[in-house]
A and B are shown apart, each in its own frame.
Chain A
Amino acid sequence: MNRFRDKRWEDIFLDTFIYLSLIFLIIVTLYPFLNTLAVSFNDAVDSSRGGIHLWPRKFTLYNYETLLTRTQIYRASMVSVARTVLSTALCTFSTAMVAYTISRREFVLRRIISFIYVLTMYIDGGLVPTYFLIRALGLTNNFWVYVLPGLVSAFNLIVIRTYISGLPDSFIESARIDGAGEFTIFLRIILPLCKPVLATIALFVAVDNWNAWFDTFLYNSANPALSTLQYELMKVLQSANTMSGSLLQALSRAAAGTSNTVTPRAIRATMTVIVSVPIIIVYPFLQKYFVHGLTLGGIKE
């Protein structure tokens, strides 16, 4: 009787605490996004006065028009989609495969491979040598520079390895008794069990690739056909930045009279929305794996 009441109090206390905390968190984390959304739909010159919170004061689509009517934007989006899809698929698969090998305790190269990968997290040759390497490999002005260099990243590798090590050994043992080879075990048993962590890594890789513009800047900037969405948006942002301080602008009357003006602030907000909306749309497909997890009988399969 007493114990029963304790438990109910515990539940009520815990739930209240959790729901209040989460609601507070939702408010403080939703606000920046709604604010950015409002600024992106607000007249740029008007936004520079500040005070925009959740709703635009002077509604306009001009900011979106400025960004989305650039000549390169559609091709660049296709490149971004292509690199994101390819990288996500290839990286996640390769990383999981290497992670599986180094999670096997009996594998002789396990420590040396781990060591070599771990070191790469903390050492870096620098920009110039890397550029020389990429050029020597023929990867400048080449689509594959988006995919190949980051094929297996040490961080993701270790995260997946840790996850696999936490899985019960019995699955692998029984498979081995059935005569399954290592690759089959990896493909048929490990991969399905790893769905939550793979979804996480896929998300990390996808977001990194989707947001990347520096590799375009370094290696592919001379070839407009290989430009990426983020790079194109950066272009507009930077020209808005310099325009707002250029001699011509200083001498001209342009901005005073018209609403067809963009400011860096408006461009940044609009960029944020354009870039994050696709991620938000794709997100639920990955989310289900780590929110539901394997609790719904995944393991018994």
Chain B
Amino acid sequence: MNASLTLAKRGHVFWQRLKQQKILILMSVPFLIHIVIFKYIPIWGWLMAFQNYWPGKPILQQTWVGLENFRLLFDDVVFYEVLRNTLAMSVIKLVMGTVSSIALALMLNEVRKIRFKKAAQTISYLPHFISWVVAANLVRDALSTDGGVVNRALMSLRIIKEPIMFLGIPTLFWWVIGFSHVWKEVGWGAIIYLAAIAGIDPALYEAAKIDGAGRLKQIWYITIPSIRPTISILLIMNMGYLMSSGFEQQYLLQNGRVIDYARVFTIYELDYGIKMMRYSFATAVGIFRSVVSLILVFSTNQLAKRWGQERLV
């Protein structure tokens, strides 16, 4: 009795607030409908994972196979290798990419010469526009044992005696991916942090200066805390992308020597799925990735909540 009353009351309050907020609703709900149409309706495609889908027949007339495609996936030894590689490279890229982009944004923010700052910022993001097809060749040339610039530099600095075949050593491959990712994306990744820094209230710095804080202290006590929500939110969102560590970069830098360490989900889906028209199998892999992604995102989100950081939902 009592409970239903409060419920009814709460319901009433809810409707009242909804009425009050009709402008906010008008501003958001049309777009909500839009996203439901464009992103949620196609989810019926997930049915394919439980079928033996063959193009040319309507989806409901396909043969149903239950969880067969998932069984095939989990029975495949290659799958576990792919899972390991994907996660390892994603984590390396995420950590190195985030740290380097934040560092670049902080450094650029400390540059007082505005022309240099602009030039450095513009140039650093240029590699983002060079597709991996072109960039992979540059990486390969740089790492070559046959006169590559990296080996020559290391040798002239007496760090190594013999050229190292960076791309031919399986255990180094993940790091090649990590470093080349930083090289290509550091400038682009820094833009979002620069924007966050640009939004910091200048009064905070003035106050700190009056307190006698040096530049390092200002960075540590003002800049970083101010962009922490951005860092935290980007980290949470990117946790969900750990299951997709890119495609072209690995595909174009891999070679027979390191194949066991280079194959990631997207390559696996292509080789064992799409290229063979096994849409059902590819969909099953996709669903597996989505589920793991969501688990990762929402558990990090919970952690952020516990630690009092900015969170996603």
Contact = CB atoms under 8 A, between A and B. Distances in A.
A272 B110 contact: no
Contacts of A121: 237, 240
B279 interface: yes
B42 interface: yes
Interface stretch (B27-35, B71-79, B85-93, B161-169): B27-35
A199 interface: yes
B159 to A, nearest CB: 17
Interface in A126-165: 126, 128-130, 132-133, 137, 148-149, 151-152, 154-155, 158-159, 162-163, 165
Contacts of B44: 125, 129
A37 B46 CA distance: 44
B24 A284 contact: no
A182 B25 CA distance: 10
Interface string A24-49: 01101111110110000000000000
Interface stretch (B1-9, B170-178, B255-263, B290-298): B290-298
Given A149-B38, A200-B191, A25 B186 contact: yes
Given A22-B120, A196-B195, A113 B28 contact: yes
Contacts of B230: 159, 162-163, 166
Contacts of A118: 297, 312-313
Contacts of B183: 28-29
B119 to A, nearest CB: 8
B63 interface: no
A162 B42 contact: no
Nearest to A130: B42
Given A113-B28, A122-B294, A158-B237, A283 B122 contact: yes
Contacts of A163: 195-196, 199, 230
Contacts of A101: 24-25, 27-28
A290 interface: yes
Given A116-B36, A166-B226, A272-B134, A291 B45 contact: no
B60 interface: no
Contacts of B234: 159
B181 to A, nearest CB: 13
Contacts of A151: 31, 34
A267 to B, nearest CB: 11
B111 interface: yes
Contacts of A119: 294
A66 interface: no
Contact of B279 (A108, A128, A159, A275): A128
B293 A122 contact: yes
B197 A293 contact: yes
Contact of A272 (B23, B131, B297): B131
A19 to B, nearest CB: 8
B313 A291 contact: no
B286 interface: yes
Contact of A268 (B120, B131, B286): B131
B233 A279 contact: no
Interface stretch (A92-100, A242-250, A255-263): A92-100
A125 B119 CA distance: 42
Contact of B126 (A7, A33, A162, A265): A33
Contacts of A68: none
A284 B297 CA distance: 35
A130 B40 CA distance: 10
A9 B136 CA distance: 41
Contacts of A149: 38
Question: B interface, by DSSP: helix, strand, loop or mixed?
Answer: helix
B216 interface: yes
Contact of A26 (B55, B123, B135, B310): B123
Contacts of A166: 196, 199, 226, 229-230
A22 B110 CA distance: 11
B214 interface: yes
A167 B45 CA distance: 41
A287 B29 CA distance: 32
Nearest to A199: B195
Contacts of B107: 18, 21-22
B239 to A, nearest CB: 10
A17 B127 CA distance: 23
Interface string B224-243: 00100110011001001000
B129 A275 contact: yes
Nearest to B49: A126
Interface of B: 14, 17-18, 21, 23-25, 27-29, 31-32, 34-46, 48, 55, 104, 107-108, 110-111, 114, 116-127, 129-131, 133-135, 137-138, 141, 183, 186-187, 191-192, 194-202, 212, 214-216, 226, 229-230, 233-234, 237, 240, 279, 282-283, 286, 290, 293-294, 297, 310, 312-313
The 4 closest A-B pairs by CB, nearest first: A293-B198, A125-B42, A129-B45, A129-B42
24 contacts: A6-B214, A11-B214, A25-B120, A26-B124, A28-B183, A29-B186, A33-B123, A97-B31, A98-B31, A108-B14, A116-B32, A122-B297, A152-B31, A158-B312, A159-B230, A162-B310, A163-B195, A182-B27, A183-B27, A197-B195, A279-B129, A290-B194, A291-B117, A293-B198
